[in-house]
Amino acid sequence: MQDDMDSDGGITDSPKKGPTLSTSTSSFEALDPHDPNLSRLATSMFNKTADYLYGELTSTLEDYKLLENMNRATITKYSDMKHIAVNINKSMVDLNEKCDTLQPYLDQIEQIEDSVLKLEQAAYKLDAYSKRLEAKFKSLEKR
């Protein structure tokens, strides 16, 4: 079987190999007469298949766009979290420096507190002693 081709690659002459049925696609030749209903149905099928494939590709493209937007949002969120963490770190360093600066004063306050507690205990002892002395003095005075 030898086909003659024109300059743009189309078939110009195609020999028949026996009778063809309009419902059979296995022996379909480009220039053979065919059933118009079959042609309409095939065109409809190809259009619907093209629409389906277009929808599938569009949904896949939309999925990738959604993933891209989610990735951008995640990048932004992580960037914000990084800035927050950096600021928290700076604040912690500042607070640690202030705490180190105040530590001698805190130690002095603790020493003063200990001294005040001891002084308070001494004052209670002195108060108790003075009450005992007063009671003794009153008992001696009554005699």
The tens digit of pLDDT for each residue in 34-91 reads: 788 888 999 999 999 999 999 999 999 999 999 999 999 999 999 999 999 999 999 9
- The span from the CA of 89 to the CA of 40, in Å, is 72
The answer to whether residue 27 is domain-embedded is: no
**Domain span holding position 101:** 33-131
- The span from the CA of 138 to the CA of 128, in Å, is 15
- pLDDT of 141: 84
The percentage of the chain sitting over the pLDDT mark of 90, rounded to a whole number, equals: 67
Pull the structure tokens for residue 112: 């003063």
- Higher pLDDT: 13 or 95? It is 95
The answer to whether residue 54 is domain-embedded is: yes
Pull the structure tokens for residue 14: 């195609």
Domain count of the fold of the chain:
1
Task: Give, for 111, the enclosing helix (H) or strand (E).
Answer: helix 36-142
- pTM confidence score: 0.46
- Higher pLDDT: 35 or 19? It is 35
The answer to whether residue 121 is domain-embedded is: yes
Average pLDDT value for the chain: 83
The answer to whether residue 14 is domain-embedded is: no
Q: In this model, does residue 26 exceed pLDDT 70?
A: no
- The span from the CA of 126 to the CA of 120, in Å, is 10
